[in-house]
Amino acid sequence: MKKSIKLFSSALTAAALVASAVSMSLPLHADNPTIQTSYTPDPAPMVYDGVFYFYTGNDAPGSSFYTMTDWQCFSSTDMQNWENHGSVLSYTDFEWADPDSCWAAQCIERDGKFYLYVTLTTSLYGGGRAIGVAVADSPTGPFKDAIGKPLCGPNWTYIDPTVFIDDDGQAYLYFGNPTLYWVKLKKNMIETEGEPQAFEMTAEQFGKSENPESSCLYTEGPWIYKRDGIYYMVYAASGIPETIDYATSDSPTGPWKYGGRIMDNCPTSFTIHPGIIEYDGRAYFTYHTGDLEGGGGFTRSGAIEEFSFKSDGSIPHIEATSEGPQQLRWFNPYKKTRASTMCSQQGIKLERGENGLYATKCSNGDYIKIAGVNFAADATEFYADVSAIRSGGAVELRLDSPDGELVGTLSVPECTEDQDWQSLSCSVKGASGVHDLYMVFTSEGTAGYVNMDSWSFDGEYTDADFSDQVVSSKKGGISGKAIAAAAAVAAAGAAAAIIAVRSRKKKKAD
């Protein structure tokens, strides 16, 4: 009898979890722009040790030019929830750099070191734009100037570096507007072999321009990528407003053959900056728009789209969307998570503390959204390091919307300092299966606010609940048929268990 009841209970639990998953809108997609707490122009992706890193510039709010003080870094393992690592490098880290001149950059790893190639302006060495290089022991920094001077330049056409290491170990650096240059890097990644060489800017290599003053479509923002023996040079094209086009070659130094247009111009930003990378068996295209609130041509934000290479290796036309890529795996709420991790937010500001970035000045109605959270069988407790300034406050735990089902409320008593962290907890009831989590902040006084440094849940779960990849590797995510089939199996198991229990009861009565 006990065995039948156990089977019955397990089957019902499975059915409940599947039903919860079915209730979600699958596949789940992130919001574009990808990051919503700051402007993130010129995004450059990097994959390292199973993590997708997203390096960007930092447009100043309300700017009327490319006023950029530093470079930021974000990371994700599910392509929907992103941890903000904040500023990892600034013009102040280069003694030779002019202020507010932190243009496009790209990071690459070699032999356990991380090299960030950046665009800066300098008044020294004759003046102009220049390519600098910084190095760190971690993908999130801190980075420092590797050589104390420009790597290439100054030259007003030297902007937008892109770098890669070929299969034979040779590293190459490319950059330039309106001419595209290339140069080999030594194995130490901080010295060049010879002087930069200019490609021949022809229509055959980079597309025919309708502008009689331009020899080809290439404008700026190159991105080098290699796949299946094909070298791809992706770039901003067509002048202003920019499009994204590409060329291919069987050699990293050309000649190139024009491949076509990847993305049309963005209505909200006259520039657009490309990147391509593969992660977890999928291909991703990165770019920027002016779609974030307050955004425009000088306040741009990075975005991501998933795509598939065609069978012949060519790149299809990609549409910019507001949805972005789908979630790769459910979020684990039972591990400690920094409050600077989120899918989207309302009213959240971040500041750097002793442990990293934390959410600050969170008041009535502000929230952090974590997408696709797998609470598994049952979440029972919520923990957070928090503080409340000028008055008490609370963190409401809601499912699927800012005013969704309330499953817990963490009360936060008043304290005197922003980082006077209190480790508090509250009970949780009704959180099981997969849901979007909204942590909604409230404060008792009009001038009061809540800060959050980190959080986690406790409850009933197993490691299998967070297996490597829960969303189908095929575009489109978990199919409705697959979910229905799983639900049917679970329901059938439950029915079988009920029959078994009834059968045993009947035999006992006989």
Q: Which CATH superfamily is domain 44-307 in?
A: Glycosyl hydrolase domain; family 43 (2.115.10.20)
The Cα 181–Cα 456 span in angstroms is 49
> In angstroms, rounded to a whole number, what is the distance separating the alpha carbons of residues 278 and 432?
33
Task: Say if residues 412 and 395 touch (Cβ distance below 8 Å).
Answer: yes
The separation between the first and the last C-alpha atoms of the chain, rounded to the nearest angstrom, is 16
44-307 and 337-466 in the same fold: no
Which residues have CB under 8 Å from 301's CB, separation 6+? 33, 34, 35, 36, 39, 40, 41, 288, 289, 290, 291, 292, 295
* Long-range contact set of residues 164-173: C-beta below 8 Å, sequence gap at least 24: 164/108, 164/224, 164/225, 164/226, 164/252, 165/108, 165/110, 166/226, 166/252, 167/226, 170/252, 171/108, 171/110, 172/224, 172/252, 172/253, 173/117, 173/131
- 56: pLDDT confidence band, cut at 50, 70 and 90? very high
Nearest to 295 by CA among 18, 120, 30, 41: 41
Q: What is the mean pLDDT of residues 411-417?
A: 90
Q: How confident is the model at residue 40 (pLDDT cuts 50, 70, 90)?
A: very high
CA 44 to chain centre: 10
User: Rounded to 5 degrees, what are φ and ψ at 282?
Assistant: -125, 155
Rg from Cα positions in the chain: 26
Q: What is the mean pLDDT of residues 488-501?
A: 40
pLDDT reading at 23 higher than 70: no
Q: What is the pLDDT of residue 488?
A: 40
- Please state the pTM of the whole predicted model: 0.88
Q: Are 259 and 246 in contact (CB under 8 A)?
A: yes
Residue 208's pLDDT is 98
Signed CA dihedral, 479, 482, 486, 489: sign only: positive
Marked catalytic residue, from 42, 242, 245, 306:
42
Give Cα 242 distance to the centre of its chain. 23
- Across the beta sheet with 162-165, the strand order is 162-165, 171-175, 181-185, 192-198
The pLDDT-based confidence of 498 (bands split at 50, 70, 90) is: very low
- Reading the block at residue 22, the tokens are 């079915």
**Paired residues of 171 in beta bridges:** 165, 185
- 86-95 pLDDT, tens digit per residue, is 999 999 999 9
Alpha carbon 266 to chain centroid distance? 20
**420 given a catalytic annotation:** no
Q: Which of 220, 305, 385, 453 is catalytic?
A: 220
Question: Which residues 6+ apart lie within 8 Å of 474 measured at CB?
Answer: none
Residues 116, 120, 121: CA angle, nearest 5 degrees: 165
Q: Phi-psi category of 463—alpha, beta or left, where left has phi over 0 and alpha has psi -120 to 50?
A: alpha
The string of DSSP codes covering 263-297 is EPPBTTBS----EEEEETTEEEEEEEES-STT-BT
Counting other chains too, the contacts that 73-77 makes at CB distance below 8 Å and 24 or more residues apart are 73/139, 73/140, 73/141, 74/34, 74/35, 74/40, 75/51, 75/139, 75/140, 76/51, 76/52, 77/50, 77/51, 77/52, 77/328, 77/329
* The pLDDT value given to residue 15: 40
Q: Long-range contacts for 180-186 (Cβ within 8 Å, ≥24 apart)?
A: 180/206, 180/218, 180/222, 180/233, 180/235, 181/152, 181/157, 182/252, 182/253, 183/152
Tell me which DSSP letter residue 96 carries: T
User: How many CA atoms are closer than 13 Å to the CA of 355, on its beta-carbon side?
Assistant: 14
pLDDT tens, 297-339?
999 999 999 999 999 999 999 999 998 999 999 999 999 999 9
Beta strand 393-399 pairing with 434-443: antiparallel
Average pLDDT over residues 359-378: 96
User: Which of 241-245, 387-391, 496-500: highest mean pLDDT?
Assistant: 241-245
Three-state SS for 121-170 is: EECCCCCEEEEEEEEECCCCCCCEECCCCCCECCCCCCCCCEEEECCCCC
Q: Please check the confidence at residue 17 and state whether its pLDDT lies above 50.
A: no
Q: In whole angstroms, what is the distance from residue 485 CA to residue 388 CA?
A: 48
Domain at 337-466, CATH homologous superfamily = Galactose-binding domain-like (2.60.120.260)
Mean pLDDT (whole number) for 49-67? 96
Residues 187-244: tens digit of each pLDDT: 999 999 999 999 999 999 999 999 999 999 999 999 999 999 999 999 999 999 999 9
246 token code pair: 């590409």
What pLDDT is stored for residue 85 in this prediction? 98
Comparing 1-5, 123-127, 435-439, 445-449, the range with the smallest average pLDDT is: 1-5
Chain mean position to CA 223: 18
CB 488 within 8 A of CB 400: no
| C-beta neighbour count of 154 within 10 angstroms | 19
Q: Is 385 a catalytic residue?
A: no
493 pLDDT more than 90: no
Q: Which of 207-221, 274-288, 366-380, 405-419 has the lowest mean pLDDT?
A: 405-419
Task: Name the nearest CA neighbour of 56 among 70, 34, 71.
Answer: 71
Domain definitions of the chain by residue range: 2-24+478-509, 44-307, 337-466
Separation between Cα atoms, residue 11 and residue 15, nearest integer Å: 6
Q: Is the pLDDT of residue 8 over 80?
A: no
Closest CA to 42 of 262, 300, 281: 300
Whole-number average pLDDT of the chain? 89
Q: CA 493 to CA 264: how far, in whole Å?
A: 51
Residue 93, pLDDT score: 99
